[in-house]
Amino acid sequence: MMEPIKIPDTLKNAPSDYVNFKYEGSKSKEREELNRPCYNSIMPSLSDLIIRLSSHNDKNTRLPKDYYLAWMELCKTNKLIPPDTEVSIDENNVHQLNLLSTGYDKHWVYATLCCYRFADAYAPMVWQIVEHVNASKDFTFWQALHFGFATHYTYGSGHSFSYLCSSTSPYAPWGNLDLSQSIAIKDFYSLTVDQRKKKNGATNDCINEVAQSLGGCPRYDPYGRVTKTGAGITISNLNELLTDKFTELYLIKTNIKDEYKRIIDQTKSQIAA
């Protein structure tokens, strides 16, 4: 089992997860916002816009350059953000991202904005995700993502494409040990743009529906309260995720439930052995 990689004491979370952004394209929507939620009111109308993001956070809370670029490359490789997303850093180490939203579904655009937000505001979490992926060839990005969210992310689903966050968060009364949550993120972003365009709900709700189809994750009432939880595939502690026992589970290239059930049953047997 790989031990969690210790995060440098010098890395700190930013005081907020707001960013500076500018919309360019349609004259009726073109505007600049400073220190605002990065998806502010734009999600229903995405056509012909370029979204330019830049950090407003203090340099002491900023992810080092190499880790920012590595994180964004991991997100591209694993289809969380479009492959032609422009990622850069200016001479003052200010993280920048340009996204041409034309041709993408709202869920892909939102995930891109969230991935930027994570890098900009949650430097310790993203640093550790990158380190965990680099530490072992048998350790997948999705395992590292689950471990990172479940350990460090406390803001909750209102600022993320997933309901997965730390059990210390007031937004996560159901816990963080159900792996169907991260499997569902992988499956959802394995869909084509046209397939995701048919999913009209909020992104985190759409991903939660995938997790529920695999037997896991909570159900909510209109006020965000948990009404039912599923078994999914649960682990006793997060450190169990830092093993190769779960690698096959995250490498499945189809969202056919029977295939997941076979691997889940096999994995549970291995854990019990």
Q: Per residue of the chain (273 residues), what is the pLDDT tens digit?
A: 678 999 999 898 888 887 777 777 765 566 676 666 655 455 545 555 677 777 767 777 788 999 999 999 999 999 999 998 999 988 877 888 888 767 788 899 889 989 998 998 899 999 999 999 999 887 899 999 999 999 988 766 668 888 888 877 666 545 578 888 899 999 999 999 999 999 988 888 898 888 888 777 655 554 555 555 556 677 778 888 888 888 888 887 665 666 666 776 776 676 666
Whole-number pLDDT of residue 147: 94
Name the maximum alpha-carbon separation found in the chain. Answer: 62
Sequence-ordered list of residues with C-beta below 8 angstroms from that of 130, at least 6 positions apart, any chain = 67, 70, 71, 74, 144
Phi first, then psi, for residue 155 (nearest 5°) are -75, -35
CA Rg value for the chain: 18
Terminal Cα distance for the chain, rounded:
15
Cα separations in angstroms, 163 against 180, 208, 218, 228, 253? 11, 7, 9, 14, 22
Task: Count the helices and strands in the chain (H runs, E runs).
Answer: 9, 7
Rounded (10°) angle between helices 106-121 and 123-135? 100
Could you give the angle at the alpha carbon of 30 between the alpha carbons of 194 and 79, nearest 5°?
Answer: 30
Integer Cα distance of 246 and 132 in angstroms: 14
Sequence-ordered list of residues with C-beta below 8 angstroms from that of 42, at least 6 positions apart, any chain = 23, 29, 49, 51
Query: 165, 67, 169: which is closest to 119 by C-alpha?
Result: 67
Phi first, then psi, for residue 148 (nearest 5°) are -65, -50
Q: Tell how strand 31-36 and strand 86-89 pair up.
A: unpaired
Whole-number pLDDT of residue 44: 46
